[in-house]
Structure 1
Amino acid sequence: MTRFFILTAVLALVSVVHAQCDSGTPHARVTGSGSSFTATRGSSTVYSGSDYRAAIQAALDSIDSGQRVSVIASGSIGANTITISSGKIFEGCGTINVANRSGRGAIESLNTSDVQIPYLTMTGNPYFGLRFYGTRNLVLGRITMNLSGGLGIRFDRDAAANSNVKMDVISVTGAGSHAVETWNIDGLNINQVIARNVGESGLLLQKTVNAQVGLVDGNNVGTGTGYATFRMANNNGQNANGNYNTNVYVDKVVSRGGGRGVFCVSQSGGVVIESVDLASNGNNAILIENCYNVSIRGGTVNGGGEVRLAARSEFPNNRDIWITLTVNNNSVRESPCGDNTNWTLSGNAARDIC
């Protein structure tokens, strides 16, 4: 677990840049409640009125790159969007309630660099809670989303790529879709993703390389679906030269109930998962399907759906798979036989492997 402790120590710096939300002297603040909000920059008032979103946006627009906004007030922005431009630090110290704006994020930062969101508490039913693309050196700290639908954090598929993204602790409850979904990131560091009662995946990585993840912890994630607490899809881990040399590292996946526990699919791979703790998953505890260079180095599976290696005919078969597991009250099946599959199994699970 050495990598986990190193990663945790490094990412701890994300959240202690400011020891507490609104600590010190932020360059701008949003205060108020109910239908009265004030945005100030230093001693100047930049907004006063009933529109919570307008107050937040005015505060953000008033500061320069490298400066910080603290939103102390709680309120609702409705089906609208807060936009963060390059170099700005946004702290959501109050609770920001949001609604669904089709195809958009409640908070967005697009084609930007050096944006930080050290703290955020969000409620409501967004289309996307946070939406990004084209970012460089994005830092997300302690993000808490207690949602009644929508998708938590989204990096867009058909847009500019991202580099050097860091996240500390992302906690998402009640999303109808994924807690965290990435596309097109080169350089991703995540301390923890905690997903509870989420409709699809806890952490879904797609076309993401050079990633380090500490913990993915899901409970009742993807119930009744093919999604998983931790899912890799759409060429995740495939390097620019086309190979699958290891570049995605995950310390631990914990999953209880829901759909799948771990799912690798659609020509993904290049991944080492140090440990899993999976129990009572409603779909496959683990499914590896058309993936390359995948290593699960230890842990336990207890009950739930089978541990399965499978393949679809439209993609090349699994190859270079290493699975070391204790599997109890379950079954392990490999069909069809992969290329260079290596099993080290213990426990009472039935086995149908090559």
Structure 2
Amino acid sequence: MITHHATQALRRRAPALASLWLGAMMTVSGQAQALTPVEVDGNEERANVPNGATLDKRIALRAPRLISFGPEDEMFIGSQAGRLYRLQPPYDEVDAEIPLSGYPHSAVIHEGYLYVATTDRLYRTAYSPGQDVSEMDFEGIADLPGGSGHSSRSLSVGPDGRLYVALGLQGNCSAQRVSKDLAFEDRRGGVMALDPSREAPEWTPYVSGLRNPIGMAWSPQGVLYLNNNGPDHWGYEAPPELLVRAEAERFYGMPWYQWNEGEWQRDECIDSAPPAKRDTLAPPVATFAARSAPIGLTFLPDDNPWQVDMVTAIHGSWATQASGGRATRRPPKIVGIRLEDDGHQGQVVDLVSGFQAENGERWARPADIAYRDGALYFTADDGDTGLYRLIP
């Protein structure tokens, strides 16, 4: 249960934030519970958090992205700044900063190796906790479809011991999918898997039909869930962003179909024949507002204090409504998802808000989310960038 304590005294910094704080709510066990405005320890900002929770900035980092954990609780954080960060508990200082060419978006530790995914290649080096590592230590073991467009490559270790990488389409309507029927450079818009123990590692298709999947999380039952960022060409209100249950060899519609108003709708921006029929497409587990950009995603243990099954970082939109200016941007936030027993549907509840004022000014944009010993950690890659911690 979320523990209730007396909240800190508040000191107003920006009047525009006041109305943003009022009425912020989340649902706990079917009842509405107010999110409490608190000061963020480590800067001069404020956020809305569950009653009794505290939020603090652990450390400043340049453009941090996805978080992972290694042996002995080491934390690794990829970045858009050409470096991989390593932090030791309590994660308030950088233990190692490894320069890496390209875009080292994500990293994982697996069977004695440190793997890093960049836009067009998977790298690895033999690794043990605390080891000094330089860029020269890495070897490229597998190419990835690169090129223009969505450049992040999210890396995860599956329950079968394979490495999984998520990668987006080049654009809104690119005739690309993760399929051996296409040229390698067009195998985008989904997830591929690789067995790193093979002498010549080779990517195999896992799921396809996703415009830009970034957040990846495996359920306790071994099922992959993915956040997917939808297209821009349907306007500002549609289609919604999706959380999907990514079952092996399934196709999830894009760019031929978009989930909108509770059904799959044909997208006329692409005139080639869809690789699957509309009635074979599974509905999403949950949806988020159009243009809200869900990124990081993680499952929580059953006894977590936040009373949700999953947590995701909503990055917030970069664009605005045509006539509204910055104030119309989708606000960044952290949300939880409560899954139904079968894991096919979920309810979304706010956990942290207040990153954006009414005039559209933002002090942070969450990118990834991770869980350790009851605390939620998230990176912010824009605004007051760095690593933050939410404690119940």
TM-score class, shorter-chain normalisation, is under 0.3
TM-score (norm 1): 0.26
Q: Which has the higher strand share?
A: 1
Q: Tell which has more relative contact order, 1 or 2 (C-alpha 8 A, sep 6+).
A: 2
